[in-house]
């Protein structure tokens, strides 16, 4: 069993990106909007801003109170979107319950949508177009699989979880790579899920359910990618995979932490640079 070391690869990607950004004719900028006091969101935003700094991306941070109105949130997004120094805009989710999140996200044009969440970017991904800004977690998983030279063409992949930000774009990416993908979700019959997993070359789990993937579901030699992040009672992090029992069966597996998480942030930085290069080409 070998670990798919996302921490190591993300550090390499960031170092390479820092060189490209240094050589870029103008500063590359990322706008980040955080609304409210959710502690996890505050940590995510802090990490993203620190990551920007580490590779020379200028961050433009806007913070609004939990009580901000729809109009105030939309105004802040539009200010970031309309700033020519800002090449990518991200709104940290979740937004407070009284805010219509979809209406806010709709204000981000596809060319500045570095999270890859807009219908236009999902459509471009479905069409396998090179100018798609691809959702960061699936893009990070693909980069990790490629780095470890794990073949995808013709391989049987089970994607567990079909969220708009992980499972669906991951399924599209894998289809584009020539894999045979089965996308499963909470309505999938658990016995069928187990049977599918037992014949899979690669299993990707993004459900938000700790230890959902157990050893009896995994074929010896399979590759397992764990997207989940949970805080255990003793304060440690774990994923959606029963790592202790599954890992010995696998050929490759992502650890939690240090697998998919750091790759997600690295891809946000890559998308911001890609958005800046596309803006420069249009200018
Ligand atoms: P989500 O809640 O939006 O979607 C979960 C998906 O899992 C749904 O499609 C649901 O149908 C499916 N599911 C739930 N229970 C299931 C079951 N028993 N069997 C089969 N499918 C089941 O979640 P999400 O936003 O995709 O996130 C999933 C997990 O990944 C969470 O733990 C989240 O914190 C984590 N996450 C990590 C990163 C990262 O960078 N590492 C990024 C995004 C999300």
Report field, pTM of the whole predicted structure over 0.95: yes
State which residues form the domain around 140: 136-261
The answer to whether position 92 is within a domain reads yes
Same domain, 94 and 179: no
Write out the two tokens for 233.
């009672």
CB 260 within 8 A of CB 137: yes
Q: Is residue 7 part of a domain?
A: no
Instruction: Please indicate, yes or no, whether residues 90 and 174 belong to a single structural domain of this protein.
Output: no
What is the 18 CA–ligand 1 centroid distance (Å)?
A: 31
> 94 lies in a domain?
yes
Together in a domain, 92 and 182 = no
What is the distance in A from the centroid of ligand 1 to the CA of 186?
10
- The predicted pLDDT at position 96 comes to 97
Q: How far is the CA of 142 from the centre of ligand 1 (A)?
A: 17
Q: What is the pLDDT of residue 13?
A: 98
Describe the chain by its helix, strand, coil percentages, rounded to 5.
45, 15, 40
Residue 6, in any domain of the structure: no
Q: What is the domain-level CATH number for residue 65?
A: 3.40.50.10860
Residues 148 and 188 in one domain: yes
Helix axes 6-23, 136-147, angle to 10 degrees: 110
Are 172 and 239 within one domain? yes
- Mean pLDDT of all residues in 242-246: 98
CATH number of the domain at 152, please.
3.40.50.720
List active site positions: 48, 92, 115
Helix (H), strand (E) at residue 61: strand 58-64
47 within 8 A of 39, measured Cβ to Cβ: no
Total domains present in the chain? 2
> Does 117 reside within a domain?
no
In a domain, 172, yes or no: yes
259 preceded by a cis bond (ω within 30 of 0): no
Residue owning tokens 């050589």: 23
265 CA: nearest ligand 1 atom: 40
Ligand 1 atom 6: the closest Cα is on which residue?
161
For residue range 172-193, list pLDDT tens digits in order: 999 999 999 999 999 999 999 9
Helix or strand or coil: residue 243? helix
Q: Are residues 249 and 152 both part of a single domain?
A: yes
Q: Tell me, what's the pLDDT at 72?
A: 98
Mean pLDDT over residues 209-217, rounded? 98
Task: State whether 174 and 104 are in the same domain.
Answer: no
CA atoms within 13 A on the CB side of 13: 24
Same domain, 81 and 181: no
Q: Do residues 80 and 156 share a domain? A: no
Based on its alpha-carbon atoms, the radius of gyration of the chain, rounded to whole angstroms, reads 19
d(CA 252, CA 73): 43
Q: Where a domain ends, among 68, 93, 110? A: 110
- Here the tokens at position 176 are 């584009």
Q: How far does the centroid of ligand 1 lie from the alpha carbon of residue 75, in Å?
A: 31
Residue 80: other Cβ atoms inside 10 A: 24
Q: Which residues line ligand 1 (CB under 6 A)?
A: 137, 160-163, 165-167, 184-186, 188, 206-209, 212, 227-229, 260-261, 264
- H or E element that contains 64: strand 58-64
């Amino acid at each position: 069993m070998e670990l798919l070391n996302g921490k190591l690869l993300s550090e390499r990607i960031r170092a390479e990106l820092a060189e490209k950004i240094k050589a870029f004719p103008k500063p590359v900028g990322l706008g980040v909007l955080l609304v409210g006091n959710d502690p996890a969101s505050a940590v995510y935003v802090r990490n993203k801003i620190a990551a920007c700094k580490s590779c020379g991306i200028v961050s433009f941070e806007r913070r609004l109170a939990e009580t901000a109105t729809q109009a105030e949130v939309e105004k802040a997004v539009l200010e970031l979107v309309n700033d020519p120094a800002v090449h990518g805009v991200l709104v940290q989710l979740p937004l407070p319950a009284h805010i219509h999140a979809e209406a806010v996200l709709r204000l981000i044009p596809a060319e500045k949508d570095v999270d890859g969440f807009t219908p236009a970017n999902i459509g471009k991904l479905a069409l396998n177009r090179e100018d798609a800004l691809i959702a960061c977690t699936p893009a990070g998983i693909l980069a990790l699989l490629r780095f470890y030279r794990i073949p995808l063409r013709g391989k049987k992949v089970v994607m567990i979880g079909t969220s708009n930000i992980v499972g669906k774009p991951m399924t599209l990416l894998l289809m584009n790579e020539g894999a045979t993908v089965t996308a499963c979700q909470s309505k999938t019959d658990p016995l069928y899920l187990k049977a599918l997993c037992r014949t899979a070359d690669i299993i990707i789990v993004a459900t938000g359910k700790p230890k959902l993937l157990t050893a009896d579901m995994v074929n010896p030699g399979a590759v397992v990618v764990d997207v989940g992040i949970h805080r255990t009672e003793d304060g440690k992090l774990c994923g959606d995979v029963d790592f202790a029992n599954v890992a010995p069966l696998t050929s490759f597996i992502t650890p939690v932490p240090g697998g998919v998480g750091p790759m997600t942030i690295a891809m946000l930085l890559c998308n911001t640079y890609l958005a800046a290069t596309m803006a420069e080409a249009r200018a």
